[in-house]
Amino acid sequence: MDEFFDLPTLIVIAVAVFVLFRLRSVLGTRTGNERPPLERRKPAAEAAADDTVVPLRPRGTAAPELDEDHRSRKIEAEIEQFAKGNDELAAGFRAVVEADPTFTPKSFLEGAKQAYEMIVTAYATGDRQMLKNLLEKDVYDGFHRAISEREAAGQTVDFTFVGLPKVEISDAEYDKKNVLVTVRFHAEVVSATRDKDGALVEGNADQVQTVADEWTFARNPKSRDPNWKVIATSQLD
């Protein structure tokens, strides 16, 4: 019998008893009244959801209504800002927004400024494809003729777009088919047209010029195409 109770065996038994005792104290014993695992996790999940700043899925219908109300106030504030006390222009903005809920004066004007720079630069460099993408057919045809006449005469244009110190929306309307917005651009450019021999024909390569244009942009709000096109251009005095 002594061979079964040597010192190493007693040490192993003692360690096993100690480990079992620690496991029991940490894990506890089941009494039959414990909640199922899912119930134990539920309060923690609810607490985590309450701490989320933006829930993954809105609760109820209150949030969408608040968002729509916030958007309406924001657009109305923009209308007042960009109309500058012009009641007719403000009414035009509201008509455009009603026809095209994605429209806001601020974002439109930012896009119009980019389009203006792209178009005048494309005209100077003779980039017909760029012009075709941004201009309505009749307007494009006029630009195309002017470029062709310049090329036939062997003329080239040195052009640098400097900036737009003043831009403002002058008119807005919905004609039951298209939404139309007219913008006045006061641009600063450096432009010099030279003949085939390099002699200056028009402009000044060393001087910034100020040009003023009024362009009308249009799009069909029922179209899937989100892009606006220039349908009319005129030079202001």
pLDDT grade for 73, boundaries at 50, 70 and 90: very high
For the chain, how many residues are written?
237
Domains in the chain, CATH or no CATH each: 69-235 (3.10.450.240)
- Give the span between the Cα atoms of 96 and 176, in whole angstroms: 10
pLDDT grade for 126, boundaries at 50, 70 and 90: very high
Angle (CA) 81 114 201, round 5°: 120
User: Quick check: 65 pLDDT over 60?
Assistant: no
- Report helix, strand or coil for 20: helix
**89 contacts 169 by C-beta, under 8 angstroms:** yes
Q: Is the pLDDT higher at 134 or at 226?
A: 134
Tokens of 121: 């630069």
C-alpha torsion 216→220→221→226, nearest 10 = -80
Tokens of 14: 């003692």
Q: 160 φ, ψ to 5°? A: -135, 125
Q: Which of 96, 125, 116, 120 is nearest to 215 (CA)?
A: 116
pLDDT tens digits, residue range 19-46?
Answer: 444 444 433 444 444 333 333 333 433 4
- Give the span between the Cα atoms of 66 and 177, in whole angstroms: 31
Tokens of 162: 């400097």
C-alpha torsion 137→138→141→147, nearest 10 = -110
User: Quick check: 152 pLDDT over 50?
Assistant: yes
**140 contacts 130 by C-beta, under 8 angstroms:** no
Q: 25 φ, ψ to 5°? A: -70, -30
- Give the span between the Cα atoms of 221 and 148, in whole angstroms: 34
- Look-up of token digits 């009749």: 138
- Report helix, strand or coil for 59: coil
Tell me the mean pLDDT in the region 207-234.
96
Per-residue pLDDT, 45 = 38
pTM: 0.71
**168 contacts 116 by C-beta, under 8 angstroms:** no
- Look-up of token digits 């737009």: 164
Tell me the mean pLDDT in the region 155-180.
97
